[in-house]
Structure 1
Amino acid sequence: MALASDGRGTAGLLTAAILLGCAKEMPPPGAHPDELPPSILTIRPAPDSIVVDFDDQLEVRFDEPVRIPNDITRQMFVSPMETYEVEMGFSGMRLMPEDGWREGVVYCYTIPTEGISDLLRNRMEDPEEFCFSTGSEILDTHVGGSVIDVLTGQPPREARVLFWAGPDSVPYGAITDSVGEFVARGLPPGEYEAFGFVDRNRNLVPDRELESYDSVSVVASIDAGQSLHFVLVAPDTTPPLLARAISAGRETVQLEFDDYLLSPQPGEPVITIRDSAAASDLEIVAFLVGSADAVEFPSDSAAVDSTGVAEDSAAVADSGAVAPAGADSTSEAAADSAEVEEDPILPSRFITVRLAQPLDSATYLVSVSGAVNVRRLTGGGDTSFVAEPEPPAVDSAAAAAAAGDSAVAPADPGAEDPVGLPIDSAAGGQDTLGLLRDTLGLPPDTLGLPPDTLGLPPDTLGLPPDTLGAPPDTVGGRRRSGNGRDRSRDPAVARRRE
């Protein structure tokens, strides 16, 4: 009854319990801090085992308490790709497909290093890969590769690869790592249609009307591994359309489309530019996919045919080509070319056209056909643009005259500067004092007298009028009498002053 009646004691116990529950997880006093990452202690079913009629949960247990992110199944490589129910434990996790385990199927997993750590934030160092089967033999088949985005040339985050063998087939798959690479294991031998995609709506299947994807046919075999390369492109059902054309220089026209175009183009687009007044087509010597401020034509445009490919490949100065330094270095360049990874040529919405002659001030009609976008749809279109005349060249002599006093006028050899020193015409119009100042190295304000001191001012040319001669009462500092006697000392004079 004492405990029941002592409200303060009960409140104190509750407060202590809350503080203990919220206390920061720390090692016991005197113990060395844990710097080792967690590692997997046991997996059940065991890796590479065959368990027929398995209907329990897959269990992964670590050697210490761990933190496991809630979206662990999205980060794990799980094949077949299915939705899993996950239970988190203090030192492990359990998972099971929502629709149960399939019979006679190989299940493969990769436990990622990202997201799983112990209580002191030590992360797993190496991913753990394992497979088990619910009946069929586990074959050593490997299909790997990479996934990149067509517009950036970089791997998208969490891209997936699905291997589809037809209706009602098992959805085997893989997930890319941080550099866009993947490996699918345990695929039964056979033919598949492989899809690389970004699963934005998280339904584990590619939605080709909503999600960026790419597809390729592949044959899985235990004899040799396969390597696939997916370039993901956003869905599109319309061909590219010419949106506008602009003059990008005296001999350059830039064509802009409403779609990204393949670079280089698989075929040869037909481009015509016509002077509407003269009713004549301009001669096109080259065109390249890319904006005018990014493409680089070879120095000799005549060496390029209408497809934008130089007849002499060594003359092309694009970003992906490296010209040999000389005849002796050609073999070294060929030997090192396999080790140098070139930047991918990214798609662009522009085609830049190089003309054989400068554009006049006129209206031009542009027509394009056969342009191919990243979805390999072919299109084109028509438009027009006006070439504006270039501004007239600036006359340097007129500009100097307009500058006024900022321009340096030529000196007269017989002229004199304000202080009477002759101007040295051989010195470029500099006066003698200026040359003297430069020679002596005097600072600017002491190189010569300022304008108002070049000649003495009127009041200092001679003594001022009141100082040219001493006034009668100030010479010698005392007044004298006519006979020369100093009357200032006469007592009579002193008394009269008083």
Structure 2
Amino acid sequence: MAVLIMLGCAREMPPPGARPDEVPPSIVRIRPAPDSTVVDFDGALEIRFSEPVRIPNGLAREMFVSPMETYEAQTGFADLRLRPEDGWRDSVAYCFTIPTDGINDLLRNGMEEPVEFCFSTGGEIPDTSVEGEIIDALTGQPLEEARVIFWAGTDSIPYGAISDSVGRFTARGLPSGEYQAFGFVDRNRNMIPDRELESYDSASVAASPETPTELRFVVVAPDTTPPLLARALVVGNETVQLEFDDYLLNPQPEAPGIAIRDSATNETLEIVGSLIGSADEVTFPLDSAALADSVAAADSAAVADSAAVGDSAAVEAPSPDSAGAAVSDSTGEEDPVLPSRFITVRLAAALDSGTYRVSVTGVVNLRRLAGGGDTTFVAEPEPPSGDSAAAADTAAVDSAAAVADSTAVEGDSVAVEQDSVPPAPETLDLPGVPPDTAGAPPDTVGAPPDTVAVPPDTVGAPPDTARRRT
């Protein structure tokens, strides 16, 4: 019994003295053979590995097979068998992609690269290829393990592909013809795009051996309602930010209609520009010009300062495009254009205090549904800016410092006046007064402490003196 327990707890390790196995497993045999044609095939696809492997449960869902069907998987010591639940179709090209994740040998060495192959149950394998990428519309980032499905009609065979770690996919073996393609995030793992639940994008595509096709899917969450204006917010003297309940296309297919009116006078305000994005993300052309001017002014000031250092210092004149270069350096690489729930509006003049009404028409969301709406906002006088408050604080500090300095000056002047009084002469020649009695020395100004009062022993006469008086 003890031996059985020890064997049950033993770990899989190489023999003592042997070098650790660092060679990943590989596929040594596939039957039916890749690129072969097997008519009336009714067996299982067999994949044999170079060594014993661990094959995770649910591999049939992780791997990709086109046509997109449900497959049964059986695992052995070093092999894998696959078979469609409903059997193999006649005269169809089957293409497989065996992933690298999950298939490891006993020392957890994983496969290095995916393995792709096709075989046919009748007829030649079509030499077609449809490639592309799948990205997230909100983040602009590629999506891994997103699926693509191709339908030629209602009762057609669903072919497909799956995206890799950089969002790229390749669909091979599609019969020539027209297809409706869907790129989607298969959250429920049923290999069918659920357009009411899952993010997806669609496109029409033609598969042909002569012309390789490139697709780009930008998947978006499902939505059946148009965008609605939620609120407006004053974010500057001349800037208003509009917020919607949905993400908007960026850029818009057509410029949306935006009108802002003074509720008191019904006067329409002049709008000089509007951009998709929140106020802290967008830059209007006038702001860019002001930035370039400020950079150019800074460059000129720097050149003037360097020239003032000395004639011996070599001063290099700025190049004509130095301002533009500085601006480009400050902005860095351009970020991808992303959708936003905001539109920032720039007015021709500063807003006065009061209530305003804004109306928007023709804004388009990511599902290309047009909407708009109207709402009101209130413009209030802005409190003093931080610069004004800082200036006031500086003035107060300067005033206090000035008072302190003037006080110090007055004190110093008093001290100077006191110092300017000539010292008293050591002797005064007054008639009848000895020279040394003209002024009492400092120690004779007051009586010594012991002469202020009669010594305690003289307060009363001694007893014997009183008797003599009697």
Give 1:4-153 correspondences, 5 Å limit: 13=1, 15-153=2-140
Secondary structure of 1:375's counterpart equals coil
Q: Which residue of structure 2 lines up, in the alignment, with residue 158 of structure 1? A: 145
SS of alignment partner, residue 287 of structure 1 = strand
* Pairing of 1:331-480 with structure 2 (within 5 A): 343-392=335-384, 394=388, 399=393, 407-409=401-403, 410-411=405-406, 415-417=410-412, 420=415
Q: Is the 8 A contact 1:147 1:231 kept in 2?
A: yes
Q: Deviations over 1:270-310 (max 9, x none)?
A: 0000011122111100100001111111226999xxxxxxx
- Quick one: distance in 2 between partners of 1:252 and 1:49? 67
Deviation at 1:155, TM superposition (A): 2.2
**Is residue 299 of structure 1 aligned with residue 291 of structure 2?**
no
- Partner Cα separation in structure 2 for residue 342 and residue 109 of structure 1: 39
Check the 8 A contact 1:285/1:301 in 2, yes or no: no
Match of 1:337 in 2: none
Q: Deviations over 1:211-239 (max 9, x none)?
A: 11111111111112111000101111111
Work out which of the residue numbers 191, 197, 215 in structure 2 matches 1:210.
197
SS at match of 2:411: coil
1:396-436 CA-partner distances (Å, limit 9, x unpaired): 786467669964524268533599479xxxxxxxxxxxxxx
Report Cα offsets for 1:65-118 as digits up to 9, x if no partner: 112222322322210111111112221211111111111110001111122111
Which string of whole-angstrom CA distances, capped at 9 and with x for unpartnered residues, describes residues 178-219 of structure 1? 111100111111111111011112221111111111111111
CA distance in 2, matches of 1:91, 1:152: 41
What is the Cα deviation at residue 128 of structure 1? 1.0
Aligned equivalent of 2:459: none
Q: Name the structure 2 match of 1:448.
A: none
- Counterparts of 2:414 and 2:16, CA distance in 1: 92
Superposition pairs for residues 178-327 of structure 1, below 5 Å? 178-299=165-286
What amino acid does structure 2 have at the position aligned with 1:66?
V
* Aligned mates of 2:240, 2:395 — CA distance in 1: 38
CA separation of 1:64 and 1:250: change in aligned 2, threshold 3 A? same
Partners of 1:246 and 1:26 lie apart in 2 by: 67
Given that residues 194 and 216 in structure 1 are in contact (C-alpha distance below 8 angstroms), is that contact kept between their aligned partners in structure 2? Answer: yes
Q: CA deviation at 1:258?
A: 0.7
1: CA distance, partners of 2:333 / 2:153: 37
Stretches of structure 1 that go unaligned for 5 or more consecutive residues are 1-12, 304-324, 331-339, 423-461, 468-498
Aligned partners of 2:232 and 2:114: how far apart in 1?
52
Larger RCO, structures 1/2 (Cα 8 Å, 6+ apart): 2
Distance in 2 between the 1:103 and 1:380 partners?
A: 53
Structure 2 counterpart SS, 1:110: strand
Structure 2: runs of 5 or more not aligned: 291-318, 325-331, 418-444, 451-470
Rounded Cα–Cα distance in structure 2 between residues aligned with 1:181 and 1:297: 35
TM-score by length of 1: 0.72
Question: Residues of 1 paired with 2:272 and 2:288: CA distance?
Answer: 6
